[in-house]
Amino acid sequence: MSSLTVLFGVAGLLALAAAIVPKLVADRPFSVPLVMLIAGIVLGLLPLPAPYGNGWSDPAAHLHGVESFTQLGILVALAGAGLSVDRPFGLKRWGSTWRLLALTMPLSILAIAALGYWWLALAPGVALLLAAALAPTDPVLAGDIGVPHPDVEPELARDNEIRFTLTTEAGFNDGLAMPFVLLGLAMAGSRPNLAVSWVLVDLLLPVVTGVVVGLVAGRGLGWAIFHTSSDRLRLAEYGDGLVLLALAFLPYALSELAHGNGFVAVFTAAVVVRKQEREHDYHGVLHAFGHQLERLFVPLALLGLGLAIGDGLLRGLRPLEVVIAVVAVLVVRPVVGWLSLLGSSAGRPATLAIAFFGVRGIGTLFYLAYALDRLPLAEQGVLWRVGALAVAVSVLVHGILAEPAIQRIERMGGHLPAH
C-alpha cells in the first residue's frame, strides 16, 4: 500500500471528522484540536507507511511542506479573525490588545530566551529563535474562544473583552513575531554585527509596510465587494465565499512584494473590509466559508502534529525541555500577561482569563519550519521537541479549560470592560 493511498484515506476520514467531531464535543470539556491531536498520536503509534520513507517524526525532511501548509492555515485564519472584529478601532477601545502586543509579547520572548539560554545551554540566537516561535498566540486554535461573527451575536462580538482581546492579539502577533525570528536568525547565522540601519529597514519597516498595504488593500477589496457600480462586478452580489481567499492571499502577496509583513497586512485588510457596509449579509457568507476552511484545516494540522509525536518526534526529550515548554505556556504567558494588563479597563476576571488563555499552535510550527528551512541548526531537534510539546500542552490545557471558564465568566458578567 502506497503512502499516497493512506493519505487519501486519512483525508476522507478528516472530512468526516470535520463535520462530526464538533457536534460530539459540543458542551463537553474537550476541543476539536485536542481530539484530533490524540487521534494523530494513536495513528502515529501504528506502523503506517510514511512519505518518502523518512518517517512522520522527521520535520527536517518536510520543512518546506510544513512551512507552506501552516502558512496557508494562518492566512485563512487571519482573514476570518479580521472579519469578526466589530469594535471600532482606537487606542482606548483596543487598549488591552495594545498592552499584550507592546508589553506581553516582547517580555515573554525575553523571558523564554533567557530560560533557553540558561536551562538548555542554547546559543543566544538559537534561544531567541525558540522564544520567538513560542511567542505568538494562535488565530487558528484560538478560533473556538475568539469572537463570534458579528452577524450572529453582535453584542458579544463588540463588547466581550476576553474574546475580542484574544482574537485581535492573535491577529496581529503572528506577524509581529517575524522581526524577532529574523533577529534570531541573524544572531545564530553569519551576521554578528547588527547595524541600526539593518534593524530599522529589515526588521521594523516591514511591519509598517504591512499595515499600510493592509489598509490600502482592504479599502480596494471593500470597494470591489460592496461599492463598484456594476452589478456584474460587485462581488457581494454573487454571495460567493471564495472571495475570502482573495482577502487572505492578495494583501499577503502585495505586502511581500513591497518587502512588508504579509501576516500583518492580511489581518489589517480584513479589519478594514469589516468596517465597510457592516450590516451587509455578505459578511456572514465570508465568515461561514472561512469557518468551514478552518474546520477542515485544524483537524489536519493537529492530526499531523499528533502523527509526528506518536512516531517519535519527542524521542530524546529531556526533563528540562519539558519544564521549559510547560513554563513558557503556563507560567510566562499568564504572569507577564497579567502584569501587562494591570490597571487596564478589562476588569479582574477578564484580565485573568486573557492572561492565561494565550493559545499556542500553528504559528509556532510555522516559525520553526521557516527558520530551520533558512538556517539548518544542530539544535533543531531541541527546538522541535520543545515547540511541539508546548503546542500539545496548550491544546490539552486550553482545550479543556478555555470554553467552560470563559462561559462562566460571561455568565457572571466579568467579560465586559470596566468603566
* Of the candidate ranges 119-133, 141-155, 273-287, the one whose mean pLDDT is the lowest: 141-155
Say if residue 25's pLDDT is above 70. Answer: no
For residues 101 and 336, give the distance between their C-alpha atoms in angstroms, rounded to a whole number. 12
C-alpha distances (whole Å) from 395 to each of 40, 144, 325 are 13, 12, 13
- pLDDT beyond 60 at 1: no
Distance CA 158, CA 160 (A): 6
**The Cα angle at residue 33 between residues 31 and 35, in degrees rounded to 5:** 70
pLDDT mean over 112-119: 96
Matching residue, cell 513554563: 327
Residue 24 has pLDDT above 80, yes or no: no
- Cα 28 from Cα 403, distance rounded (Å): 9
**Predicted confidence band at 299 (pLDDT cuts at 50, 70, 90)?**
confident
245 vs 288: which has the higher pLDDT = 245
Within 137-195, where are the H helices? 154-159, 161-188
Q: What is the largest CA-CA distance in the chain?
A: 64
Distance CA 162, CA 344 (A): 13
The predicted structure's pLDDT at residue 254: 97
HSE (side-chain half, CA atoms, 13 Å) at 195? 4
pTM recorded for the entire structure: 0.90
Residue, of 181 and 399, whose pLDDT is higher: 181
Predicted confidence at residue 116, as pLDDT, reads 96
pLDDT band at 11 (very low <50, low <70, confident <90, very high): low
pLDDT at 405 over 60: yes
> At 150, is the pLDDT very low, low, confident or very high (cuts 50, 70, 90)?
low
Euclidean distance between the first and final Cα of the chain, in Å?
A: 63
- Is 167:84 a contact under the CB 8 Å cutoff? yes
Tens of pLDDT, residues 273-293: 998 877 788 888 888 888 888
Nearest residue to 334 (alpha-carbon basis) of 7, 45, 100: 100
- Taking CA atoms, 73 is separated from 80, 109, 141, 198, in Å, by 11, 23, 10, 30
Q: In whole numbers, what is the pLDDT of the chain averaged over residues?
A: 84
Compute the distance between CA of residue 177 and CA of residue 129 in angstroms, rounded to an integer: 10
Average pLDDT in the 119-137 region? 94
Question: What is the structure's pLDDT at 296?
Answer: 78
Quick check: 74 and 139 in contact, CB under 8 A? Answer: yes
Q: Write out the H or E segment, with its range, that includes residue 47.
A: none
CB within 8 A of 262, min separation 6: which ones? 75, 175, 210, 251, 252, 253, 255, 256
pLDDT, one tens digit per residue, over 68-101 is 999 999 999 999 889 888 888 888 889 999 999 9
251: closest CA among 283, 209, 213, 207? 213
Q: Which of 282, 244, 251, 252 is nearest to 80 (CA)?
A: 244
